[in-house]
Amino acid sequence: MRKTLVAANWKMNGSREFAGQFFRDLDLNGVDCDVAFCPPFPYLPIVADLLQEAGRPSVSLGAQNVSEREAGAFTGEVSAAMLKDFGVRYVIVGHSERRSLFGETSELVAQKYVAAKEAGLVPILCVGETLEEREASRALEVIGSQLDAVAELAVDDCWKGAVVAYEPVWAIGTGKTATPEQAQAVHEFIRGRLGAAGEEMQIVYGGSVKSANAASLFAQPDIDGALVGGASLDAAEFAGICRAG
Ligand code: PEP
């Protein structure tokens, strides 16, 4: 039985004050799923402290990006080992904003995935198609090739200890959610592509998830939770999503 995972992606939002107020407001009573917060890098230790203070040490920390390099003269980069050093458990790789705005190719995403795994982090690998690709009936082909790029580089036990997030680009931050049936069809395809490890892996959905639509998504057999952007900035809304898990 796979446990539901709800991960908050704060993107480049928040402040020290915001984080403090958020965790004072956050009420996770009655929540039974895995929960993670991926704030911007500088807030990782602050969020860790706030979780301790709130008596929520079992809630995990995640980062939004990681370098594919180990160490050295790479100004502005943050390594997987550094994240591990700060108690980070998850790291998002291949988010569509990084692919489209920062030119990250599937090959680079695969290198980041490998770096994360080698450091003992759990990569949350984001895959998903644009609206144009969906309308051209190319969604599964695109997602398949995003997964293959990782499988080609990561070889042994490639998928073990990782999470996949299906995030249709047209649903991210747009208020348009994939229907539970649309999302389920892609999740089933992804699970099939992951081989033996797929049965145990959490495959989460991302794209305008809110407390009002979370339960119907989580009711699908292959949807094991959510990666949440906009709605994760509202403590009550985010808690509502977690409660649906
Ligand atoms: C995301 O950026 O990962 C995301 C799912 O955003 P939103 O929930 O705002 O669509």
Ligand 1 pocket, residues with Cβ under 6 angstroms: 9, 167, 172-173, 206-209, 227-231
Is 187 a residue of the active site? no
Burial label, 123 (beta-carbon count in 10 A; 0-12, 13-18, 19+): buried
The residue whose C-alpha atom lies closest to atom 1 belonging to ligand 1 is 229
- Supply 33's token pair: 């799923």
CA of 74 to the centre of ligand 1 (A): 28
Low-confidence ranges of the chain (pLDDT < 70): none
243 three-class SS: helix
Model pLDDT for residues 135-166, shown as the tens digit of each residue: 999 999 999 999 999 999 987 789 999 999 99
Residues contacting residue 24 through CB under 8 Å, at least 6 positions apart: 54
DSSP assignment of 155-201, as one string? Answer: -TTTTTT-EEEE--GGGTTSS-PPPHHHHHHHHHHHHHHTGGGGGTS
Please report the pLDDT score of residue 162 as a whole number.
97
Give me the catalytic one of 95, 97, 133, 187: 95
Give me the catalytic one of 68, 129, 133, 167: 167
DSSP assignment of 15-57, as one string? Answer: -HHHHHHHHHH---TT--SEEEEE--GGGHHHHHHHHHHTT-T
What's the rounded Cα separation, in Å, for the pair 240 and 245?
Answer: 9
Tell the CATH superfamily of the 5-244 domain: Aldolase class I (3.20.20.70)
DSSP state for residue 108 in the 8-state scheme:
H
Please report the pLDDT score of residue 55 as a whole number.
82
The residue whose C-alpha atom lies closest to atom 2 belonging to ligand 1 is 229
The answer to whether residues 82 and 61 touch, using CB atoms and an 8 Å cutoff, is no
The answer to whether residues 7 and 126 touch, using CB atoms and an 8 Å cutoff, is no
CA of 143 to the centre of ligand 1 (A): 17
Q: Any known ligand binding at 9?
A: yes
DSSP state for residue 78 in the 8-state scheme:
-
Q: Strands, DSSP E only, in 72-138?
A: 90-93, 122-127
Is 132 a residue of the active site? no
Best probe residue, ligand 1, of 163, 227, 233, 241 (max atoms within 8 Å of C-beta): 227
Alpha-carbon torsion 191, 193, 196, 197, what sign?
negative
H or E stretch including 104? Answer: none
CA of 73 to the centre of ligand 1 (A): 32
How far CA 180 is from CA of 138, 188, 214, 215, 221, in Å, comes to 19, 12, 9, 10, 10
Best probe residue, ligand 1, of 5, 6, 9, 92 (max atoms within 8 Å of C-beta): 9
CA proximity to 8, closest of 164, 219, 206, 190: 206
Model pLDDT for residues 203-216, shown as the tens digit of each residue: 999 999 999 999 99
Please report the pLDDT score of residue 41 as a whole number.
98
CA of 71 to the centre of ligand 1 (A): 30
Residue with tokens 């100004």: 75
Domain ranges in the chain are 5-244
Which atom of ligand 1 is nearest to 172's Cα? 10
CA of 207 to the centre of ligand 1 (A): 5
